[in-house]
C-alpha cells in the first residue's frame, strides 16, 4: 500500500490551529500522477504548481493577491458580513459555502442573494478592495 504524506506550509498550520470551533476551513489537494525524476524530487512543489485562471488570475500572478489570503466584506445597514479565502486556482471559497466561486461578484451574490459588484465589496486584510488592486495592475 502506498504511503501518503501531507506537507502544509506554516500559514496553513497557523490557520488550522486558530480556527473557531464552528468555522469551516477548505483545503484543496492536488494529486500529481506524473512520474518524478530525480530533479523534480529535489523540489516537489515545482511539479505541483497551479496556474490561476479567471478574473483573479492576474492579481495572483502579479502577487497582489496570494493563495490563502482572506477577503472580507461588511454591509452594516443590511447586517451582513462574510469572509472568503483565495485559492491558488483563482477562486474564492466563501465561509459557510462549499462551492468555489470563479468571480468576486458571484461570491458576493452567494452571500447577499442579490446582484452586487464583488470587485468593490470584497476587501483585503489591509482594507483594499479588489477593484483597487485591479486598478494597480492597470497603472503599472
- Cβ atoms < 10 Å from Cβ of 26: 13
Decide: 67 and 87 in contact? Cβ < 8 Å: yes
Task: Quote the pLDDT of residue 140.
Answer: 79
| For the chain, percent of residues with pLDDT exceeding 90 | 54
User: In the chain, what are the domain boundaries?
Assistant: 10-47, 57-139
The pLDDT of residue 38: 46
| pLDDT score of 87 | 93
- CA-based angle 18:63:112, to the nearest 5? 60
Q: Does the reported pTM lie above 0.75?
A: no
Amino acid at each position: 500500500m502506498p504511503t501518503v504524506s501531507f506537507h502544509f506550509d506554516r500559514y496553513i498550520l497557523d490557520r488550522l490551529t486558530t480556527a473557531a470551533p464552528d468555522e469551516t476551513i477548505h483545503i484543496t489537494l492536488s494529486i500529481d500522477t506524473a512520474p518524478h525524476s530525480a530533479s523534480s524530487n529535489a523540489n516537489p512543489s515545482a511539479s505541483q504548481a497551479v496556474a490561476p485562471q479567471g478574473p483573479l488570475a492576474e492579481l495572483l500572478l502579479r502577487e497582489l493577491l496570494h493563495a490563502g489570503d482572506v477577503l472580507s466584506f461588511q454591509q452594516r445597514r443590511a447586517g451582513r458580513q462574510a469572509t472568503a479565502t483565495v485559492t491558488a486556482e483563482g477562486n474564492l471559497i466563501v465561509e459557510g459555502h462549499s462551492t468555489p466561486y470563479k468571480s468576486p461578484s458571484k461570491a458576493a451574490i452567494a452571500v447577499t442573494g442579490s446582484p452586487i459588484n464583488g470587485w468593490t465589496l470584497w476587501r483585503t486584510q489591509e482594507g483594499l478592495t479588489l477593484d483597487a488592486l485591479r486598478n494597480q495592475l492597470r497603472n503599472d
